[in-house]
Amino acid sequence: MSLFTRKRNTRLDYEIEPDEIFLDAKNIPKFDQQQFEGRLETPIRISSLRILLVVFLGVFVVFAWRLGNLQVVGGKAYYERSLQNNLNRVPLFANRGVIYDRNNVPLAWNDESKTGNFFSHRSYIKEPGFAHLLGYVSYPSKDTSGNYWREDFLGKDGLEKYYDALLRGENGATIVEVDAEGAITSQNIVDTPVPGENLYLSIDARIQTKLYSLIASLAETRNFSGGAGVIMDVTNGELLALVSFPEYDPEVLSLGDDAKAISSYLNDRRKVFLNRAVSGLYSPGSIVKPFVAIAALNENIIDPKKNILSTGSISIPNPYTPSKPTVFRDWKAHGWVDMRRAIAVSSDVYFYAVGGGYQDQKGLGIEKIDRYMRFFGIAEATGVDLPGEVEGIIPGPEWKEKNFPGDPWRIGNTYHTAIGQYGFKVTPIQMARALGAIADNGVLRKPHVVTNPDLVYSSEKRIEIPEEYYTISREGMHAAVKGDGTARALNISAVDIAAKTGTAQVGVRNEYEHSWVTGFFPYKEPRYAFVILMERGPAGNLVGASFIGSQLFQWMAQETPEYF
Whether the bond between 522 and the residue before it is cis, its omega within 30 degrees of 0, is yes
pLDDT digits (tens, 9 = 90+) for 196-230: 999 999 999 999 999 999 999 999 999 999 999 99
pLDDT digits (tens, 9 = 90+) for 266-313: 999 999 999 999 999 999 999 999 999 999 999 999 999 999 999 999
pLDDT digits (tens, 9 = 90+) for 346-384: 999 999 999 999 999 999 999 999 999 999 999 999 999
Per-residue pLDDT at 504: 93
Q: What does the angle CA 76 – CA 77 – CA 81 come to, to the nearest 5 degrees?
A: 115
Please report the domains of the chain, with CATH numbers, ordered by start residue.
Answer: 88-197 (3.90.1310.10), 205-563 (3.40.710.10)
Binning pLDDT at 50, 70 and 90, where does residue 8 land? very low
Q: Angle at which helices 545-559 and 205-222 pack, to 10 degrees?
A: 150
- % of the chain surpassing 70 pLDDT: 86
pLDDT at 80 over 80: no
pLDDT at 54 over 90: no
Per-residue pLDDT at 477: 98
Could you tell me if 339 and 302 are in contact, meaning their C-beta atoms sit under 8 angstroms apart?
yes
Average pLDDT, integer, range 331-337:
95
pTM to 2 decimals? 0.83
pLDDT at 501 over 80: yes
Question: Rounded to an integer, what distance in angstroms lies between the CA atom of residue 362 and that of residue 344?
Answer: 22
Per-residue pLDDT at 179: 66
> Whose CA is closest to 330, among 395, 415, 422, 426?
415
- Residues 6 or more apart in contact with residue 242 via CB below 8 angstroms: 132, 133, 203, 208, 229, 230, 231, 277, 278, 386, 429, 449
Question: Rounded to whole angstroms, what are the CA distances from 105 to 335, 451, 504?
Answer: 52, 14, 38
Binning pLDDT at 50, 70 and 90, where does residue 112 land? confident
- Residues 6 or more apart in contact with residue 359 via CB below 8 angstroms: 353
- % of the chain surpassing 90 pLDDT: 70
Question: Rounded to an integer, what distance in angstroms lies between the CA atom of residue 222 and that of residue 350?
Answer: 31
Lowest mean pLDDT among 116-125, 146-155, 178-187, 206-215: 178-187
Average pLDDT, integer, range 124-150:
90
Could you tell me if 244 and 238 are in contact, meaning their C-beta atoms sit under 8 angstroms apart?
no
Question: Rounded to an integer, what distance in angstroms lies between the CA atom of residue 179 and that of residue 182?
Answer: 5
Whether the bond between 195 and the residue before it is cis, its omega within 30 degrees of 0, is no
Bridge partners, 100 (sequence order): 106, 200
Binning pLDDT at 50, 70 and 90, where does residue 24 land? low
> Whose CA is closest to 416, among 247, 283, 266?
283
